[in-house]
């Protein structure tokens, strides 16, 4: 039996109830990581838990609305008390908002998109940096998007939120050059997810990579031996 590369490491994955987060949680667990999975949808989290445990892995479920003003900080407190560290943070949860002209984007949409895609990751950095530094090789990963640079018409809210995320993480990464903690972004490209289906309803999903194909890239960047820091790593199929 091959050695599991993340045996004994603690990994927190947001947006783990479906899509890329679901696949990444499974992939990390398959490599031996203890998974802490968060999402708003309890039923889908329970399905993830069943799948991980049936494969011999370990999973702790935390139903959580990331926009809760105190939820992230309370979660950090629980993890600190139980494990005293966090080895892997995967900030994957995201929302698309509306594909619409910029002048039609409502304040509610701006608040939701920037809140989930940018401010929530910033709160995770604030709440979890100390726990990630407590690891011998902390790894923080954030799901980026090509929309941060393509900035197509009608994608203003999502593009702005992802561009801000890239700037946030890359700036933070420069602060980490004196320690074992690294922070990187993953651009998965167009992937077979519900968000992609909403953004491109006329697209054939079978032509796109499945989240299970993207997940190994997250695993690679989560390894203690990984040295990249402050990079936007693009998934390339095949």
Point out the residues that are catalytic.
158
106's tokens: 């409502």
Name residue, tokens 């004196």: 178
Buried b (16+ CB within 10 A) or exposed e, 82-99: ebebbbbbbbbbbbbbbb
Whole-angstrom Cα distance, residue 133 to residue 137?
Answer: 8
CA distance 97 to 108: 10
The answer to whether the CB of 160 falls within 8 A of the CB of 205 is: no
Q: 3-state SS of the chain: helix, strand, coil percent to 5?
A: 45, 15, 40
Three-state SS for 62? strand
Q: Could you tell me the strand order of the sheet in which 58-63 lies? A: 58-63, 34-39, 10-14, 88-91, 139-143, 182-187, 232-234
């Amino acid at each position: 039996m091959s050695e599991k590369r993340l045996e004994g490491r603690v990994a927190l994955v947001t947006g783990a109830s479906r899509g890329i987060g679901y696949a990444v949680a499974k992939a990390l667990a398959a490599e031996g990581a203890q998974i802490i999975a968060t999402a708003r949808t309890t039923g889908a989290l329970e399905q993830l838990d069943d799948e991980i445990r049936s494969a011999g892995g370990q999973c702790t479920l935390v139903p959580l609305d990331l926009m809760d003003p105190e939820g992230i900080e309370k979660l950090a407190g629980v993890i600190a008390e139980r494990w005293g560290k966090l080895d892997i943070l995967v900030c994957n949860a995201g929302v698309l908002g509306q594909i619409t002209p910029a002048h039609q984007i409502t304040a509610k949409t701006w608040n939701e998109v920037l809140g989930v895609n940018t401010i929530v990751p910033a709160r995770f950095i604030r709440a979890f940096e100390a726990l990630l530094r407590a690891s011998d090789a902390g790894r923080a990963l954030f799901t980026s998007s090509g929309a941060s640079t393509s900035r197509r018409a009608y994608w203003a809210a999502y593009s702005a939120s992802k561009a801000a995320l890239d700037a946030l993480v890359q700036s933070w990464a420069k602060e980490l050059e004196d320690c074992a903690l690294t922070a990187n972004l993953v651009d998965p490209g167009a992937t077979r997810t519900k968000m992609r289906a909403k953004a491109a309803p006329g697209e054939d999903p079978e032509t796109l990579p499945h989240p299970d194909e993207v997940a190994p890239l997250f695993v690679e960047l989560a390894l203690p031996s990984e040295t990249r820091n402050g990079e936007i790593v693009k998934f390339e199929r095949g």
